[in-house]
Amino acid sequence: MERWAFSRPFRITGYEWSDCDVLLVEVSSGELRGRGEALGVYYHGDTPETACELLRDREVLNALPAGGARNALDCALWDLRAKLEGRPVWQLLDLESPRPIITTYTIGADEPASMAQAAREYAKARALKLKLIGDGDDAERVTAVRAARPDVWLAVDGNQGLTRESLERLAPVLEQSRVELIEQPFPIGRDADLDGLRSPIPIAADESAQTSADLGKLAGRFDVVNIKLDKCGGLTEGLNMLHEARRLGLRPMVGCMGGTSLSMGPAFLLGQLCEFADLDGPILFSRDREPSAEYDDEGRIFCSETVWGGAA
């Protein structure tokens, strides 16, 4: 395990972090080595520590549950396969040569003026995602950021912290502020609260969408599904989720629980097939792993084969 410090405290509904632990998994064949990284899913008690315990138990390696352990191992095995076969993972997946993609830059919940300042500091961002926490100040948060950055695509993320009533009160402000996406407003298990809600802004499932098995019950309530490799258990299941989402008429999005550039590599490839991307994990840290993902002046992320998934 490794510990990585955030450049500033990061706050969402019910949580605040100044650093985080990361699980690094390596698999090898001869001199060739594959790597994968995961943070786990904090709201399930799925941490790098619990993932390490799972990986130490040889009997569960063939039946790991969805989560950080399976993600890190799955991505390490893809990385190793690329080296063994002499072809990068994007070719193994029959993808076109990867291109830079727009990613959101996430702003943790804070005082409205502080969030507006953070939005200005992310000068090269072309898309921003704001964390809302349902404490009565969310409308001011949204309007302050929109005033600071009238030029960006804007999303908000409730992380399960809103109610039907608070979202309906907030809705006019979201529309006036040209918000383009509302992510996981209600708690897990309260998806039915969306029934009958007429929202002109698309609503994305995050915590409600863990694996492909969850998607059938989300169709008709959500518009978008946020696929995170830490949740579903790796690139293999992430691809399954993407295909199932499309089959059900859900628009695919790729996100992350955080992580260094090593976590972004496989998610970046999945992002080649998604409509939205939220792959800003490394920019929240005070330092990153080398080689690193590139974030350009157009608000895009690019992960070269040297970051993850390249041939030997």
CATH number of the domain encompassing residue 190: 3.20.20.120
**Burial group, residue 115, by CB count within 10 angstroms (0-12, 13-18, 19+):** buried
- Tell me, yes or no, whether 119 and 250 share the same domain: yes
- Tell me, yes or no, whether 233 and 107 share the same domain: yes
- Tell me, yes or no, whether 83 and 141 share the same domain: no
The pLDDT score that the predictor gives to residue 58 is 47
CATH number of the domain encompassing residue 71: 3.30.390.10
The pLDDT score that the predictor gives to residue 135 is 92
Domain contains 44 = yes
Domain count, the chain: 2
- Tell me, yes or no, whether 79 and 117 share the same domain: no
- Tell me, yes or no, whether 160 and 29 share the same domain: no
Give the residue numbers spanning the domain of 120.
Answer: 101-302
Q: How far apart are CA 208 and CA 226, in angstroms?
A: 9
Residues whose CB is less than 8 angstroms from the CB of residue 286 and which lie 6 or more positions away in sequence, other chains included:
4, 5, 6, 7
**Contacts by 163-168, CB closer than 8 A, 24 or more apart:** 163/134, 163/193, 164/193, 164/197, 166/134, 166/138, 167/197, 168/197
pTM (2 decimals)?
Answer: 0.88
- Tell me, yes or no, whether 21 and 132 share the same domain: no
- Tell me, yes or no, whether 121 and 51 share the same domain: no
- Tell me, yes or no, whether 61 and 116 share the same domain: no
User: Digits of tens for pLDDT over the chain (312 positions)?
Assistant: 788 888 888 888 888 878 888 888 888 777 788 888 988 888 888 887 787 776 655 445 557 889 999 999 999 999 999 999 999 999 999 999 999 999 999 999 999 999 999 999 999 999 999 999 999 999 999 999 999 999 999 999 999 999 999 999 999 999 999 999 999 999 999 999 999 998 999 999 999 999 999 999 999 999 999 999 999 999 999 999 999 999 999 999 999 999 999 999 999 999 999 999 999 999 999 999 999 999 999 999 999 999 999 997
Residues whose CB is less than 8 angstroms from the CB of residue 37 and which lie 6 or more positions away in sequence, other chains included:
22, 23, 24, 25, 72, 75, 259, 260, 262, 263
- Between the alpha carbon of residue 77 and those of residues 26, 89, 162, 185, the distances in Å are 9, 11, 39, 35
The pLDDT score that the predictor gives to residue 44 is 86
